[in-house]
Amino acid sequence: MALQAALLPSTLSVPKKGNLATVVKDTAFLSVSQKKVSSLSVRAQVATAPVATPGSSTSSVDKKKTLRQGVVVITGASSGLGLAAAKALAETGKWHVVMACRDFLKAAKAAKSAGMAEGSYTILHLDLASLDSVRQFVDNFRRAGMPLDALVCNAAIYRPTARTPTFTADGYEMSVGVNHLGHFLLSRLLLDDLKKSDYPSRRLVILGSITGNTNTLAGNVPPKAGLGDLRGLAGGLSGPNSNGSAMIDGAEEFDGAKAYKDSKICNMLTMQELHRRFHEDTGITFASLYPGCIATTGLFREHIPLFRMLFPPFQKFVTKGFVSEAESGKRLAQVVSDPSLTKSGVYWSWNKDSASFENQLSQEASDPEKARKLWEISEKLVGLA
């Protein structure tokens, strides 16, 4: 939603070291004084709190330069794991969180409801189902004048009962289009910003899932993930109406649960390919993780009611694998900021004592040749090749 024209011309820009008052769905920005912030009227939405661009600071007493506040972008930060991680990082006072979300108003309400302090976050519109929206987000972020020190690709769509595909604005099957292709383009475009950062530990984190990792019990629950020879992806995931397939492996029948699991294999393969291509030259840490079974998350909102009712107690009392949103958020925050988790190319997990460890990926989710092929096809689909 755009700011009312009477209050804000659409061509204003933010000075590089200025303060970003609010960013909405169009490209309008506003520079705001640190001493006084006027209330803004937003058509059909609410403005986020004004924030100062993080930077190095110097003590007036000892004149010593101190580490500036880091800036982290988190996709899907308006609910679930993304919101919990945003809150955990913001509460440290060491991080400013850019909440990259599709629904501006939902994100603003979520941040307020979670108790995130004014000035600890900025909301930017991002719809991963549109590659144009991804490019617009990157442009808006750069115009805001903030550095980028960490990127968290967290947002996901899960439609386990779907038997017919839906498609993104670019014509790709929705689960893979959002979970993989949208994040792939976002990561590639923002990689330049991470390279420019002077922060001591720059990180790019992509959420994985145990369900896409077939060397686990959960990963063997039907339908099992599997990318095959990627013929469906190479064909554009266009679906049967275009004489193609909406499934990555080229299967004729669509399965929403498998589409999600396949997208998570893509996420884990992408992380490893980023590591192989860029870690040595840039020093950026690339990582993936499975934070545990967040059985109460909104990710399951499209599952059948009986599953939603029984799954949380099953995880709590039978498998003992249940993890709260708050705990999972802290784990994701660790991968973003913990000095002990700087190793690149790692898929992180946690044991029953909430201690992190390097987990092992399945053969397919760690196949370097498949990762290379996935990379090359994805580049073509998002317009980078």
Per annotation, catalytic residue among 121, 158, 172, 260: 260
**140-149, 174-183, 195-204, 214-223 — which is least confidently predicted?**
214-223
DSSP letters along 257-301, please? HHHHHHHHHHHHHHHHHHIIIIIHHH--EEEEE---B-TTSGGGT
Is residue 121 among the annotated active site residues? no
SS3 366: helix
- State the pLDDT at residue 315: 54
- State the pLDDT at residue 291: 86
**Do 171 and 236 meet the contact criterion of CB atoms below 8 Å apart?**
yes
Q: 239 pLDDT exceeds 90?
A: no
**Do 49 and 179 meet the contact criterion of CB atoms below 8 Å apart?**
no
Compute the distance between CA of residue 172 and CA of residue 174 in angstroms, rounded to an integer. Answer: 6
Listed in sequence order, the residues at least 6 apart from 215 whose beta carbon sits closer than 8 Å to its beta carbon are 360, 361, 362, 363
Please give the mean pLDDT across all residues of the chain.
Answer: 81
Which domains are delineated in the chain? 70-382 (3.40.50.720)
Q: 263 pLDDT exceeds 50?
A: yes
**38-42, 111-115, 190-194 — which is least confidently predicted?**
38-42
Q: 302 pLDDT exceeds 60?
A: no
Reading the block at residue 361, the tokens are 């990926």
The string of pLDDT tens digits covering residues 57-106 is 433 444 455 689 999 999 999 999 999 999 999 999 999 999 999 999 99
| Model pTM score | 0.81
Reading the block at residue 16, the tokens are 């590089």
Greater model confidence, 256 or 26: 256
Q: ∠198-269-243 over CA atoms, to 5°?
A: 125
- The closest alpha carbon to 262, from 272, 274, 250, belongs to 250
